């Protein structure tokens, strides 16, 4: 008689989110990728000591890399601690990399990290294929979100 496994709340596994990215970019699609990390990097990620704010992904020589993502040095690390801003290889299938390369070749399209989370013991990053928003687009999105919030508030009363 085995018991069913309880599903964990996804938010408990999320180590970092790039909330600003959803405001500054239109996310066209997302891809989940693994990361090639050093031991002190995964320990820092589990301690939630990373920043995705200025990060982006780039495809070079048929491989995808996560660049400009700051993972702080591990506090209990010794002289073998990692470089906080080093480029980290993304673990993707060859077909996924080809699709991403084709997407990025369009003007104004970029790859940005949306969130880092732990899945089955491995650190994963959610990469978004994104197109930059202009200032007036951001204002329209804020206005639309406020209107939807008001409508839902009124509907709640009825």
Catalogue all structural domains in the chain, each as residue range(s) with its CATH number.
12-133 (2.40.280.10)
Structure confidence at residue 140 (pLDDT)? 82
Write the DSSP symbol of residue 156: H
Asked whether 68 and 55 are in contact (CB, 8 A), the reply is yes
Angle at 24 between CA 141 and CA 37, to 5 degrees: 135
pLDDT in tens, the chain (158 residues): 555 555 555 566 888 898 888 888 889 999 999 999 888 888 888 889 998 888 999 999 999 999 998 888 887 777 778 878 889 999 999 999 999 999 998 888 999 999 999 999 899 999 999 988 887 777 888 888 888 898 888 888 77
Structure confidence at residue 15 (pLDDT)? 86
**Alpha carbon distance 93, 26 (integer Å):** 25
**Alpha carbon distance 103, 97 (integer Å):** 10
**Alpha carbon distance 126, 68 (integer Å):** 15
Angstrom distances, CA of residue 138 to CA of 24, 121, 128: 7, 36, 18
Structure confidence at residue 4 (pLDDT)? 57
Structure confidence at residue 64 (pLDDT)? 93
């Amino acid at each position: 008689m085995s018991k069913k496994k309880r599903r964990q709340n996804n938010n408990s596994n999320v180590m970092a989110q790039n909330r600003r990215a959803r405001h500054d970019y239109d996310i066209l699609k997302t891809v989940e990728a693994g990361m090639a990390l050093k031991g002190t990097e995964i320990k820092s990620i589990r301690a939630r000591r990373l920043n995705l704010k200025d990060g982006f992904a780039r495809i070079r020589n048929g491989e995808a890399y996560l660049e400009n993502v700051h993972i702080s040095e591990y506090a209990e690390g010794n002289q073998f601690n990692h470089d906080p801003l080093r480029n980290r290889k993304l673990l993707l299938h060859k077909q996924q990399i080809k699709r991403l390369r084709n997407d990025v070749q369009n003007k104004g399209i970029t790859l940005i990290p949306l969130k880092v989370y732990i899945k089955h013991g491995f650190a994963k990053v959610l990469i978004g294929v994104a197109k930059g928003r202009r200032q007036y687009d951001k204002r329209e999105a804020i206005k639309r979100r406020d209107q939807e919030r008001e409508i839902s508030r009124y509907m709640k009363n009825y």
